Amino acid sequence: MLHIIAGPTGAGKSALAMRLAERHHALILSADSRQIYRGFDIGTAKPTPEERQRVPHAGIDIADPMERWSAARWAEAAEGWIASARARGQPVIVCGGTGLWLKALVQPLAPQPPLDPQRRASLASALATLETAQLRRWVAVLDPARAALGRTQLLRAVEVALLTGTRLTEGFRAPPRRPVDRAHWLIVDPGPALHARLAARIDAMCAAGWAEEVRALRQGVPAEAPAWNACGYREVREMVEGRRTPEATREAVLIATRQYAKRQRTWFRHQLGAAERVLRLDPTAPGAATQAERWFEEGERS
């Protein structure tokens, strides 16, 4: 049984995973599509060096900012990390909010089509100049079923449609990978309190030096790098470049983050069917820690 702690951004997943991992000497496998990028630390809420000393992590700082990682590629790598941990007799807690990556791990997707690198790079440069709303209008024409997804998924839908002539929604004929394991889900969501938590987290990120991090990244990371698609980074970069005020930046990041959390909630509400083993937990509720502990132990016995 594979333990998966998921839910919207800022809900408290990481803190819960840390508590359980410390108690049970587990590996935390990050299922966050932005924590894979080296250097993009503060705005992606990566675990601190001290936290990584206390608990081993996998899936963090594994990619150059210019690399693109598909759900299938991450799932294949995740299988290796999981197998290595289990060979050591170490439990694994998968923790993150990138729903498609988690789905690729437990309900494998068909392999993605190969794309010509040069044509893809040229298209990526052109698409990088588009606002997300513009991309959404493109996808509404090219692959309507994916038009409500986030920026990264919108970019992928446009790439595949234009470079292959086939919609991602229609799928590609190839056998999917075998599932890695049965999943035991803990969906963490504090409900209405999430909005206030997100605002406080953004303020903490700014106080921790988010702008300084972005200023340093601009020196070596091209504007079209996929890593910049991490929620909030484009807005902070615009502030660093003098195109936004700090006040307007905070508001824009807060709006973007709340919209992202809303999409995540929708995904976890509709993609996890009745057959899944799911516990939904408000981490602020009395007894939440005890419930989480019981959830973990139940999964270990299964």
What is the band of 174 on the pLDDT scale with cuts at 50, 70, 90?
very low
pLDDT average, residue stretch 27-54: 97
Give me the amino acid identity at 130.
L
Query: Residue 85: what pLDDT?
Result: 95
Both 15 and 91 in one domain: the answer is: yes
Q: Are residues 91 and 164 in the same domain?
A: no
- Is 145 in contact with 169 (CB distance < 8 Å)? yes
Grade residue 145 by pLDDT with cuts at 50, 70 and 90: confident
Specify the residue for token string 């419930």: 291
CB 246 within 8 A of CB 239: yes
238: domain range?
2-109+176-301
55-59, 98-102, 172-176, 185-189 — which is least confidently predicted? 172-176
Binning pLDDT at 50, 70 and 90, where does residue 203 land? very high
In whole numbers, what is the pLDDT of the chain averaged over residues? Answer: 90
**For residue range 207-266, what is the model confidence (pLDDT) as tens digits?**
999 999 999 999 999 999 999 999 999 999 999 999 999 999 999 999 999 999 999 999
Work out the burial of residue 164: count CB atoms within 10 Å of its CB; fewer than 13 is exposed, 13-18 middle, 19 or more buried: middle
| Residue where a domain terminates, one of 125, 142, 170 | 170
pLDDT value, residue 175: 47
Q: Compute the average pLDDT of residues 96-119.
A: 80
| CATH number of the domain encompassing residue 157 | 1.10.20.140
pLDDT at 112 over 70: no
Global confidence as pTM: 0.79
Q: How far is the CA of 149 from the CAs of 82, 104, 133, 242, 259, in angstroms?
A: 28, 16, 11, 29, 11
Two tokens, residue 83: 């197998």
Same domain as 253, residue 137 = no
